[in-house]
Structure 1
Amino acid sequence: MNDQRCGWALLVCLLTSGNSWSDDGCFYDGVSQTSLAHIIEQVSKRYQVGVITTSRQPETVRLSQPLGDCSLDEFLTLATAQADWAFRQQDAGVVFYYSPRQPAVAKPSATPSAEPLDDQREEVVVKGIRFIHDPALVSRYASNTLTEVALLPPGQLGGHNGLTAAIGRRAAVTFSQEAGVDRNISVRGMSSDFTRVTVNGMPMLATGTSIDSRGAVNNSRSFDFNVLPDGLFSEISVTKSSNARINEGAIGGSVDMSTPKPLPASATDALVSHRQWLNIQRENNISNGSDGGAISGGLQGSVDDGSFGWLVAFSVRKRTTSERGYSTVRWQVADWGEQSSLSDEQQQTLADDLFYPRHNRYDIINRELTTLGATAVLQWRDENWGQLDLTLVGSHHKQDMHEYHISSAGIRTQDLSDIQVNEYEVGAQGMVYGSFSNVNIRSEHNHEVDITDLGQIKLDWSLPLSTRWKVRSALGYQASIFDSPTHDNISLLAYGQDFSFDLRENDRLSVNRYGFDITDPGEWELWRISLAQDQVVNRYRVAELEFELNQSNTLQHWFGIQYQAFTNDRQEATYTYNSPDGLVNGYSQQTSGNFSQGFGLSGLPTGWVVANQGIIPSLGLDDSLLVRDPTQQRQLNEYTWAGWWQTVFEVWQLPWPVRGDAGLRYATTRQQVQGSLLVEGDDSESVEAVNSQFRYGNWLPSLHLVAQARDNLLFRAGYSREIVSPSIDSLTTPLLLRTSARIVTNGNSELKPIRSHGFDLSAEWYGSQHEFVAMGLFYNRIDSLIVEEVQQVTLDQLPYYNPQWEAQDDGEGDYSYRRPVNGPGTDISGVEINIQLPFTRLPYPLNRFGIDSSYALSHAVARYPLDDGYVTLPPPGLSRHVFNGAFWYRGDHLETGVTLRARSRYLTLVPGNNDNDREGVNASAILGAYGSWQVSSELQLSLDINNITNEAFDKFVDSSNRVYSYSVTGTEVRFGLGWQFGL
C-alpha cells in the first residue's frame, strides 16, 4: 500500500517534473519525507530484497524520500542520511536499525529520531508485506519464545473481542465455563493448574467459586477469569516456551494481561496526547429470560513532549443468569437388604454391585452478578531520573446466588435396607430406572453471597546508566480476597414417599416422579438449617532488579534477581440447626420460572416448594452462632528467591540467519504450612499446632533458536525446564469427613513440585496477504504428577482424631481415605496447527471471506495408584483435542462471522469417588456468531451471540459415562456501542 502521507513537496515534484527520474539520476530534494513503512515497501518491491527493522511502528518514523533512478545502496544512504536511523545489508536482506548520531537519553518523543524505550529490539521481517500491520503476527514473528499476543480495543467489553475470546483466536487455548462466562484456561489441552497467570507482569491469583458439584471454592493455583471486569485490559499474551526472564510456574504456558498505558512503549511509536473511549453493552438470554448490561470508559492524556502521561479507566457490569439441570452427585453401590417384592434373580442383581444414582436431583441456580473495576496509570520520563511507571488495578466481583434443589436424599446412603424396591431396570450404566417406597425427598434452598476483591499496585523504574548499560527495578503488591459472608442452606423433607427415576429415554436427564404434590407446602417439614462462612486471602509481594547490557546491535544480555512472598490463608466457620418439630411456619415459596421448558423431555416438573430465607431470622439464627473449628483452618506461606541470566543474539552471517536466546534461572522456595489438628490423649483431646516446612530449589535452563529460511519462512526450536508448585488445596486441606459418601479427604504438606523438560519444534509461513500458517510439535517430560492415593480405612486408622466424627458417622464400614501424593511421571506430546487464511486471492466478493483456526492434539498417559496396583489413564485436565475456529466476512464497514470453540473430554479425578473408576467432563462445542458495523471512525455497533446451541456442561463419572451433573445456561445475545475520540 502506498503511503499517502508523503510531503506536499514530493507531490509537487512528481507533477511538475518534465523529466524522468532516470534523467536526474539519484537525488534528494531536501524537503520530501515519507514513513519508514513506505521506504520498506519501496525497497522490497523495487529491488526485490527482504527488509528487517527494529521499529514496531514503522508508520510513525519519518525518513527522507530518495528521488530519481537510484541503486539500492544510493537509495538507502539518502533515506537515512537526515535521521538517526542506519542500515546494513546482510544475506537475508536489508536491516534498518536505530543509530543515534549522539548519545541519547531514554526520553520519549514524537520525533522519529529518538531512541526506542523498548530495549528488546528484536528485529522483525516486514518486507513491505501486509502482515506488518497485524500486531499479533508481528509479535509472534519477533518472539523467540513462541508468544501469542492479542490486542484489544480500548475498553472492550465481553464478546468477540473480549479478553478470553481474543486469545482463543490466536492460540489453541480453551476455557471452562461458569454461568456462561469463561473461567479457567487450558493451554495445549492441559488443565489450568499447569498455567501461570500474571497481570502487568506480576503474579496474581483470582479466587472465585462454583456450586458444590464443580468443586465449590477454587483454592488452587488456577486463575478465575470470570471474576475480572471487562474493559480494563488492552493486551493478553500466552507464552508456551519459557525463558529465564519469565517467572517459573507454568508447564502448559504463561498468560499475561496488561492494562493500557498513556505513553508509547517505544519512541518510534506514535504519541497520542489525548484519547477518550466509552463502550455500552446490553445483554439478553433468549433461552431463560435473564439479562444484563455493562459500561466501560476511560481517558488518557500526556504533555506535548511525552515526559508525563496519565490514564484512568473504569468498567461496570451487572447481569443475571439462570442455570438448570440434573445431577446425581455420583453413583454408588448400596446394601438394599431383603426385598420381598422382588424375584430371587432381581434380588441377586441388586446384591451384585449394581450402581445407581444417589440423589436424582433437579437443580436451579439463579445468579445476580456485579463486577466493578478501575485502573489508573501514571508515567513519567526524565533524562536524569529515567522512566517511572505507577500502575494500579482494582476490581470487585459479587455473586448473589440462589440454588434450588429437589432430590431423592433418602437413597443417598449405603445402607438402604429400609427402602422398598418396587421395580427397576438395568442398562449399560447400571440401574437406569427405579421405583421405590419409603424414600425421604429433600428440598434445598441455598443462598450464597460471594465477593472477590482484587487489588494490585506496581511501580516500575528504569534508567540508562550509559549507552550500553541499563537498570530496571519493580516493586509490587497484590491481594485477592474471597469472602462468602452469607452461605445459608435450608432443607425441607417429605418423609417416606413413593419415588421413581427414569434415565431410559435420556441418559443425562432423569424423569423423576413423586408420590405426593411437590408444590404443596403442607407436604413438607423443616429438617435442617446450615450456616457457613468461607474466606480465602491470597497475597503477593514482589521485588525485582535487572541489568541490561547492549553489547552490540545483535547481542544483548540481562542479569536479574527477584524476591517473591506468597501467602494463602483460608478460614471457615459453620453452624447446623436441626429442627425439633419440623414446622415451616409459613416460610415457603415456589421456585421461579418453568423448570420443564427447554429440555425437550416430557414429564419434568414445572417447579417445587422451597423454604424462604426469612425462616432463619424468625428462629433467631444469625452469624454469631458460627463455630470456627481450629482443625479446619490452614495457612500457606511461600518465599521464593530467583536469579537469572539471559542472552539474546542474532547471527546474520549464516546461510540461514539465526536469532534466539539462551538463559539460566535458579529459583529456591521455602514452603510453610501452618494450622492445627486435634489428637486423642489419655483422658481428653488436645489441639496441637501444625507447622510443616519444606524447601526446594531448581535450575531452569532455556534455549530458543529461530532460523529464517526465507523472509517469510521461519523454523523454530526451543527447550525449557519448568516447575509447577502443588495446588494450594493439595498442600493445606485438613482432614474432612463426608459421612453419607463414606469419604475422608486430606492434604499433604510434603508434596514435591512438578518438574518438566519441554521441547518445541515449529515452522511458520507468513504470506503477503495476511496469510499465516504454522505447524509445531511439542513434548513435555514430567517427572512426577500429583495424583490421588485411595485407601480403605476405619475412623480409628486416620492420622488424627476428632470426636465430632463419631457423632457424624451414620453407618458402619470402611471409609475411602483420599490424599494427594507424588505419583509417576508422564510424557505429554502433541501437535499444534495455526491457520489464518483470508481469501484475498479469490475474485470479489469471495475475497472478503476468510478462516482463522487453531488446533492442538495432545497425548499423555499417567499411572494412578490403586489398592491392588495402578490404572493407566490421561492426566487430570488433559483434553486430547482442542479447536478454536472462525469463518468471517470483512467489508469496508461490516465485519461478521461464526466461531467454534471445542475441546474433547477430560478427567478431573482418578479413581472416582464411591467406587467409580474416574470422574471427568464430557466434550463440548460452543458455537457463536458476531457482527460489527463501523458507522464512523469514532462510532462502532456490535452484536455477539454466545452458545447458539445451548451447549450443556456435562460432568460424568466412570468409564460407562454415568451422568454426574448436567446443566444448561442458555444462549446469550449482546448488543454494543463503542465510541473512541482523540485517536
Structure 2
Amino acid sequence: MSPFKPSMLTLALLSAGLSANTYAADEKVKEKEAQKDDIEVIEVKGFRTSVIKSLNAKRFNDTISETISADDLGALPDSSIADALTRLPGVTAVRTGGQASGLNIRGLDGDFVFATLNGREQVTTGGKRAIEFDQYPSELINQAAVYKSPKASLIEGGVAGTVELKTADPLKSEKEHSFNINVRGAFNDRADEVSDANKFGNRLSFSYQGKFLEDTLGIAAGYAHLYQPYVSSQFIGLRFNDGKRDLNGSGSEESISEGFEVQQKGGEDKRDGYMAAIHWQPNDNWSIKTDVFHSKFDSKNFARGYRVKNLKDGKITNPIIENGSMVGGTVSSEGNGNFAVFVVNDDDTKLSDLTSGAFNVEWNDGEKLTIAADISYSKADGKFVNGGTRAVLYNDIDAQIRAPESVTYRLNGLNHATASFSGDYSDINKLGLRQVGMWPYDQQNELVAYKLDFKYELENDFLSSVEFGVRYSEREFNAQRSQAGYGNEFGKNPDNQPVLRLNKDMTSVVDFGGELSGFPSFLKIDFDKAVALVNKQLAKTGKGPFKPTANWGNSWTMIQSGSVNEDVLAGYVQGNLDFELADIKVTGNLGVRIVNTDQYSSGLQQVGFGLGEEIADDNGVISKDYIRNEVGQKYTDYLPSLNLNFHLTENDQIRFAAAKVMARPPIDKLKSGRGNWYHDKVVNKGTPQEKTYKVYNSWGNTSPLLDPFYADQFDLSYERYFSESEGAFVVALFYKNIKSFINNFTIKPFDFEKEGFIVPDTVTDNGVTYDVIKNEGQYQTAINNDKGGYIRGLELAYTQIFDFLPDALNGLGFTGSYSFSDSEVKFTTNLSGSDLDIPLPGLSKHVLNTTLFYTLDGFDTRLSMRYRSKYVSEQVAVESQLAFFDAETVLDYQASYAFDNGVKLLLQVNNLTDEANKTYFGKKHQTGTIQNFGRQFFLGFNYSL
C-alpha cells in the first residue's frame, strides 16, 4: 500500500491544531445543559412523545443525526428496526418478502452502512458489513439513531452513515418497576393464493425493568417471539442480453430474453430474541454495566412454478417486437437442445444465531476526569441451505426421450405477462425428475473488542472538554461452501444418474391464484422425498448418500471456503467545542481518528500438476494440486472530523460538518482462495532456441489486498424549532466525494510473485518439464477501481403539532421529509441487450416520507406513506441480476386505544394499497420482476404495569 498522503480536507482540519474524543453526552445530560441555557425541552405524552423526543435528540446531538424513540419502536408491530428507520430523512430500504430489509442511506447501499449495538461493533450472520436488521426485534430496542456526520469518537466504518441501536438502561427508567407484555396476531390477505401458505402469524414479547438498593442497581430483561409467514406471487422476466437475432427480417437484430419464471413463494420466519442488562452505580463515582443480547432467526422459504430457459435456442415464430426487443411470440422445440420449460421446486433455508455481550466500567473523580473501560464480544453464525428440483416433460422417461414442447407468451411491461404451454406439467406420467441439488453456504463471524476512553472537563472559553481513547479489535470470518448434485439441468443425464419417475406420495397438483390464475397448474415436488428417491437410485450403483460436501469434483466449493482475519488498532483525540463567535454561541467537536488495520486471509490456492500439498476434501479424497496460503496487507488511515453548531437564537441553529470517512469491503470479498490455469507461451518459434513456457493465471473474484471505500464528505443544515407550537423545520445539504468502488476485474499482466503469491518455478506436464512465467498471466479478482465520484443531495424535514387548533383538533400532527440525491457515479450493464449507463445501485433521486397522526386522550391513529423514485438494485432470479426498480408508494395505517388500567388495543395494516415490487431492464417493456406481497393486518394488545 502506498504511504499516506494527507488530503486537502485532512490538512485543513489538522491545521486547526485541535483534537478530541468520545461519545457525546447522553440525552439526559444534554437536556440538563440545554435547560441551564434556558432552552425549553418539550415533554409530552402519547405518540407525540416519540415525535418530540426525536426532535430533542436531533436538536441537542453534537452531530447531524436522526433518531426514533423507544415509544415509537415499542408501539409498532414492525418485524424489524429497518421498517421504522425508513421513515427517517434520506433512509430507504429494498422490500424483501414485503418487509424492509437492508438499509440505504443517502443513496448508498448496505455495503457503506455501519451499525452498532450500544456503541459496539456487531458482526453479521453473512458476509456483509451491515448488520441484518431483521435479526433485531424492535421490542427489545430502546432507541435507534442514524448518524449522518461522524465524529472521532465513533467507530469508523460508515461512508453512508452509522446506525446505532440501543437497548434499555434500567437506571434511566422513569418508573421504579415496569412490566410490559405485547401480544399480536397477523393475517395476510393473499395467503389463499399460494398453496400451503399459512395465513396467520403471531408476536409475543415480555420486558421488565426494575431499580433496587435505593436506585443504585438496575435490572432489565426482555424476550420477543415472532412467527411470521409470508407469501408472494411473482412473475420474473430474465435478462435481455442472452442473444440477438433478426427475428422479423428487418435487417437488424433484436434482443432476446433468457426466459422467464412464474412462481408462488411462501415460507415462514421464526425469531426468538433475548436481552438482559445490569447497571450498578454504588455512588457518584462508579458505574458498572453488563448487557447481553441474543437472537435466533430461522427462515424457511419455498419458490415453485415454471422456469422457461434459453428462448434463443428454440424455434421462434410470430415474434412480437417492441423497441428492438422480443417481448412475445411462440418458442418451440422438438425435445432437444437447451430450450426447456422446467417445473422448479426450490427450498431456501437460513438459520441465524447472533450473540452480543459487553462489560463496561466507568469512573469519575467527581469533578473533571472520567475514565471508561469496555470489553465486548459479538458472534454470529449463518447457515444458508439452498435445495431444489428440476423436472421436464418426457415422452419416455426411462429412455430419457424428451417431449416436444412450446410456449406462447406476451410480456406486458410492468403488469403481469400471459403465457400458455403446449404440454401438461401436472401429469405425473410425463414429468420426469432430472436434477436435484443442494448448495449450502455456512458462515461464522466472531469479534472481540477492547476499548479505553478518557474525558477531561476544561474551564476555558473555547473547549468544554477533551476526549481521547484507544480501541483494539480482533475479528475472524470463516466460510464453508458445499454441494450435492444429481443429474444435469441440460443435456442427457449420466448413465448412473438417470431421470427419475415421480410418484403420487411426493407430488401434488398446484393451481396459481390472484393475477397468476391464468397460468396452468403444475406439480409440487416434496424436496425431502425427492432426496430419498435419489438416495434409492444411488444405492443401486453403490454411491451415496446424497449429502452436501466440499469436494474436489466441484473444486469451487474448496476454493471459495476459507477464513478472513481483521485486527484493528484505533486511537482518537477529540476536542468538544463551546465558544462564542461574534456573539453567536458555537458548539461541536473537532478530532481525528487514527486506524491501523491488519487484514489477512487463509485459503486454498490451486497450483496444479501435483505440486501442492496433500489435502483431503470432505469425502476423504486427496489432492496434490493445491496449497494453503495466507495473503493480506496492513494499512493506516487518518480520519479527521469537524462538527460545528451555530446557535443563532434559542430556536435557530446552523450545522456544518466535514470529515474523511471509510467503509471496509464486504468481509467475504477478502477471501484468498483461488483457482488457476496455465497457458502455453512459445518464444523463438521455428528456431533452434524455440522454448515453451507455462504462463500462470488465476481466478477468484475476491482479494485480501482490497482497500476500504474512502470519501470526503461535507454537510450543511439549518434547523428551526418552533416556539409558538411544537415542531421544527430542517433543511440540509450534503456532498460526498467517494474515491473508488470495488469491482470484479481482470488484471493483465499481473506479477503474482511480487504480490506474495506462491507460484511454482516449474511444472511437469506429460513428462515434459516447463519453466513457469509468473508475471504475464491474468488475474481475475476484485479491485478498487479509480472511478469514484460525488453524491450530493438535499433533505427537507417538517414536523408540526397542531396544538393551536380547537380542542377537538389539537391532537393533530404531521411529520414528513423529502430527500433529493444525485450522483455522477455511473456503471455499465448490458442486461437490457445493449450497453446502458445505470446510476449508483440503491440511489433513488426522490424519497418522500410522511406521517399524519392524531392523538386524543387514549386514542392514537396514524397514516404513513413512503415513496421512492426508481432505483437500481439486484432482482433475485436464477442468478442475481441488476434491474431498475420502478417507483413505489407504500402506505401503512395504525390505530390504538389505551385504557386507564394499562391495556392498549392495537390495529395496524401494512402495505395498505397492496403495492407490488416491479422491475425492468433499462426499458419498461423489458419486464423484470412483478411481485405481489399482499396486505398484512395486525391485531393485538399491550399491557403495561
Superposition TM-score tier, normalisation by shorter sequence: 0.7 to 0.9
Does the residue aligned with 1:435 lie in a helix, a strand or coil? strand
Task: Identify the residue that residue 694 of structure 2 maps to in structure 1.
Answer: none
Q: Which moved more, 1:254-263 or 1:585-594?
A: 585-594
Alpha carbons of structure 1 residues 431 and 895: separation in structure 2 relative to 1, 3 Å: same
Q: Distance in 2 between matches of 1:746 and 1:945?
A: 44
| TM-score of the superposed pair, with normalisation by structure 1 | 0.77
Q: Which moved more, 1:685-694 or 1:229-238?
A: 685-694
1:698-709 aligned within 5 A: 698-709=637-648
Does the residue aligned with 1:646 lie in a helix, a strand or coil? strand
Q: Kindly state the Cα deviation for residue 666 of structure 1 after the two structures are TM-superposed.
A: 0.6
Instruction: Report Cα offsets for 1:868-900 as digits up to 9, x if no partner.
Output: x99864222222122211122222221112111
Q: Kindly state the Cα deviation for residue 160 of structure 1 after the two structures are TM-superposed.
A: 6.7
Find 1:184's aligned residue among 102, 106, 112.
102
1:334-349 aligned within 5 A: 334=243, 346=247, 348=249
Listed as ranges, the gaps of 5+ residues in structure 2 are 1-24, 193-198, 334-338, 394-401, 488-492, 536-543, 552-556, 612-622, 677-698, 750-756, 760-777
Task: Identify the residue that residue 903 of structure 2 maps to in structure 1.
Answer: 939
Task: Identify the residue that residue 284 of structure 1 maps to in structure 2.
Answer: 187
The alignment status of 1:728 with 2:656, answered yes or no, reads no
Q: Distance in 2 between matches of 1:171 and 1:761?
A: 15
Find 1:223's aligned residue among 112, 115, 131.
131
The alignment status of 1:667 with 2:595, answered yes or no, reads yes
Contact residue 330 and residue 357 of structure 1 kept, 8 A: yes
Task: Identify the residue that residue 159 of structure 2 maps to in structure 1.
Answer: 251
Task: Identify the residue that residue 586 of structure 1 maps to in structure 2.
Answer: 503
Task: Identify the residue that residue 632 of structure 2 maps to in structure 1.
Answer: 693
Q: Kindly state the Cα deviation for residue 379 of structure 1 after the two structures are TM-superposed.
A: 1.2
The alignment status of 1:875 with 2:840, answered yes or no, reads yes
Does the residue aligned with 1:487 lie in a helix, a strand or coil? strand
Q: Kindly state the Cα deviation for residue 725 of structure 1 after the two structures are TM-superposed.
A: 1.1
Q: How many aligned residue pairs are there?
A: 813
Task: Identify the residue that residue 77 of structure 1 maps to in structure 2.
Answer: none
Alpha carbons of structure 1 residues 192 and 166: separation in structure 2 relative to 1, 3 Å: same
1:405-420 aligned within 5 A: 405-409=305-309, 411=310, 416=313, 419-420=314-315
Does the residue aligned with 2:416 lie in a helix, a strand or coil? coil
Q: Kindly state the Cα deviation for residue 840 of structure 1 after the two structures are TM-superposed.
A: 2.9
Find 1:851's aligned residue among 814, 827, 830.
814
Q: Which moved more, 1:360-369 or 1:627-636?
A: 627-636
Q: Kindly state the Cα deviation for residue 679 of structure 1 after the two structures are TM-superposed.
A: 3.0
Contact residue 390 and residue 435 of structure 2 kept, 8 A: yes
Task: Identify the residue that residue 372 of structure 2 maps to in structure 1.
Answer: 472
Does the residue aligned with 1:616 lie in a helix, a strand or coil? helix
Contact residue 228 and residue 371 of structure 1 kept, 8 A: no
Task: Identify the residue that residue 681 of structure 1 maps to in structure 2.
Answer: 609
The alignment status of 1:751 with 2:665, answered yes or no, reads no
Q: Kindly state the Cα deviation for residue 936 of structure 1 after the two structures are TM-superposed.
A: 2.1
Contact residue 248 and residue 722 of structure 1 kept, 8 A: yes
Q: Kindly state the Cα deviation for residue 323 of structure 1 after the two structures are TM-superposed.
A: 1.7
1:565-576 aligned within 5 A: 565-576=474-485
Q: Kindly state the Cα deviation for residue 919 of structure 1 after the two structures are TM-superposed.
A: 3.4
The alignment status of 1:907 with 2:872, answered yes or no, reads yes
Paired AA for residue 550 in structure 2? V
Task: Identify the residue that residue 532 of structure 2 maps to in structure 1.
Answer: 617
Instruction: Report Cα offsets for 1:111-169 as digits up to 9, x if no partner.
Output: xxxxxxxxxxxx78217797999322111111120122211239837537973344333
Does the residue aligned with 1:643 lie in a helix, a strand or coil? strand
Task: Identify the residue that residue 536 of structure 1 maps to in structure 2.
Answer: 443
Contact residue 575 and residue 625 of structure 1 kept, 8 A: yes
The alignment status of 1:308 with 2:250, answered yes or no, reads no
Task: Identify the residue that residue 650 of structure 2 maps to in structure 1.
Answer: 711
Alpha carbons of structure 1 residues 656 and 226: separation in structure 2 relative to 1, 3 Å: same
Contact residue 893 and residue 934 of structure 1 kept, 8 A: yes
Q: Distance in 1 between matches of 2:427 and 2:64?
A: 62
Find 1:833's aligned residue among 796, 806, 826.
796
Alpha carbons of structure 1 residues 296 and 586: separation in structure 2 relative to 1, 3 Å: same
Q: Distance in 2 between matches of 1:820 and 1:428?
A: 36
The alignment status of 1:626 with 2:562, answered yes or no, reads no
Contact residue 899 and residue 928 of structure 1 kept, 8 A: yes
Q: Kindly state the Cα deviation for residue 568 of structure 1 after the two structures are TM-superposed.
A: 1.6
Paired AA for residue 727 in structure 2? E
Q: Distance in 2 between matches of 1:653 and 1:862?
A: 38
The alignment status of 1:322 with 2:228, answered yes or no, reads no
Contact residue 568 and residue 635 of structure 1 kept, 8 A: yes
Contact residue 864 and residue 870 of structure 1 kept, 8 A: no
1:593-612 aligned within 5 A: 594-597=511-514, 599=515, 603-612=518-527
Q: Distance in 2 between matches of 1:287 and 1:548?
A: 56
Task: Identify the residue that residue 354 of structure 2 maps to in structure 1.
Answer: 454
Contact residue 786 and residue 823 of structure 1 kept, 8 A: no
Alpha carbons of structure 1 residues 444 and 185: separation in structure 2 relative to 1, 3 Å: same
Task: Identify the residue that residue 40 of structure 2 maps to in structure 1.
Answer: 126
Could you say which structure has the larger radius of gyration?
A: 1
Alpha carbons of structure 1 residues 206 and 697: separation in structure 2 relative to 1, 3 Å: same
Q: Kindly state the Cα deviation for residue 653 of structure 1 after the two structures are TM-superposed.
A: 7.2
Paired AA for residue 909 in structure 2? I
Task: Identify the residue that residue 950 of structure 1 maps to in structure 2.
Answer: 914
Q: Distance in 1 between matches of 2:608 and 2:116?
A: 44
Q: Kindly state the Cα deviation for residue 172 of structure 1 after the two structures are TM-superposed.
A: 2.6
Alpha carbons of structure 1 residues 926 and 271: separation in structure 2 relative to 1, 3 Å: closer
Q: Kindly state the Cα deviation for residue 220 of structure 1 after the two structures are TM-superposed.
A: 1.9
Q: Kindly state the Cα deviation for residue 695 of structure 1 after the two structures are TM-superposed.
A: 1.7
Contact residue 602 and residue 672 of structure 2 kept, 8 A: no
The alignment status of 1:515 with 2:422, answered yes or no, reads yes
Q: Distance in 2 between matches of 1:400 and 1:930?
A: 28
Q: Kindly state the Cα deviation for residue 420 of structure 1 after the two structures are TM-superposed.
A: 2.2
Alpha carbons of structure 1 residues 234 and 862: separation in structure 2 relative to 1, 3 Å: same
Alpha carbons of structure 1 residues 866 and 831: separation in structure 2 relative to 1, 3 Å: closer
Paired AA for residue 435 in structure 1? T
The alignment status of 1:143 with 2:61, answered yes or no, reads yes
Instruction: Report Cα offsets for 1:800-827 as digits up to 9, x if no partner.
Output: 99xxxxxxxxxxxxx9978454231201
Q: Distance in 1 between matches of 2:758 and 2:501?
A: 39
Q: Distance in 1 between matches of 2:517 and 2:270?
A: 35
Alpha carbons of structure 1 residues 55 and 866: separation in structure 2 relative to 1, 3 Å: closer
Listed as ranges, the gaps of 5+ residues in structure 1 are 1-53, 62-86, 88-94, 98-122, 208-217, 265-269, 337-344, 738-743, 794-798, 802-814
Find 1:433's aligned residue among 310, 324, 328.
328
Q: Distance in 2 between matches of 1:635 and 1:508?
A: 45
Q: Distance in 2 between matches of 1:449 and 1:857?
A: 37
Q: Distance in 1 between matches of 2:467 and 2:29?
A: 26
Task: Identify the residue that residue 71 of structure 2 maps to in structure 1.
Answer: 153
Percentage of matched positions with identical amino acids: 19
Contact residue 403 and residue 446 of structure 1 kept, 8 A: yes
Contact residue 333 and residue 354 of structure 1 kept, 8 A: no
Alpha carbons of structure 1 residues 436 and 747: separation in structure 2 relative to 1, 3 Å: same
Task: Identify the residue that residue 5 of structure 1 maps to in structure 2.
Answer: none
Task: Identify the residue that residue 786 of structure 1 maps to in structure 2.
Answer: 742
